[in-house]
Amino acid sequence: MAEGVKLCCAACGQMNRVPEARLAAGPKCGVCGAALLDGRVMALDAAAHDRAVRGDDLPLIVDYWAAWCGPCRAMAPEFAKAAQAMAPRVRFGKLDTEAHPVVSQRAGIRGIPALILYHRGREVARLTGARPAADIVAFLRAHLGAHPGAKSG
């Protein structure tokens, strides 16, 4: 079996194995055709969140947010800019804490916006409060540069 990077499709939940050399080529889900690494922030539901956190081989940063939260709304474009800057080395997702309170409770979210960086099923680091894209990118580079199996850049 060919080696590859496992990525969960946020649209259908299917796990996909993508050759590492093809990560920058815009891989798509083998089942539904959704983009897996297009530099955009994935909207996650509870099931997709859990599958991606547990199954993805690439680092995943999740923004825990809510529609009523002004700082969350203000940070959304900055989070999207950081996603573009870090693609295809890091996947970006967001989870609505109002729609999925059990997940945010399980993750220990006490205030929003809250960012949690996961890699291979484990929490690597947290960052709280609204941040500009440069801070998010610096946070990722600082934590992934020293993290085994992650690539920094």
pLDDT tens-digit readout, 100-137 = 999 999 999 999 999 999 999 999 999 999 999 999 99
Helices 133-145 & 70-86 angle (0-180, nearest 10): 50
27 domain-assigned: no
Give CA–CA dist 144/153, Å, rounded.
Answer: 9
Amino acid code (one letter) for 84: Q
26 domain-assigned: no
Question: Where in the sequence is the domain holding 141, given as residue range(s)?
Answer: 38-145
Q: What digits encode the pLDDT tens for the residues 52-103?
A: 999 999 999 999 999 999 999 999 999 999 999 999 999 999 999 999 999 9
Kindly state the DSSP code that residue 22 receives in the 8-state scheme. G
17 domain-assigned: no
Active site residues: 69, 72
102 domain-assigned: yes
152 domain-assigned: no
15 domain-assigned: no
Give CA–CA dist 131/92, Å, rounded.
Answer: 15
pLDDT band at 2 (very low <50, low <70, confident <90, very high): low
Indicate the number of domains in the chain.
1
116 domain-assigned: yes
The strand ranges marked E within the chain are 5-8, 15-18, 42-44, 60-65, 91-96, 114-119, 122-128
What is the sign of the dihedral through the CA atoms of 124, 96, 109 and 134?
Answer: positive
**Hunting for tokens 């923004």 — which residue is that?**
63
CATH assignment at residue 79? 3.40.30.10
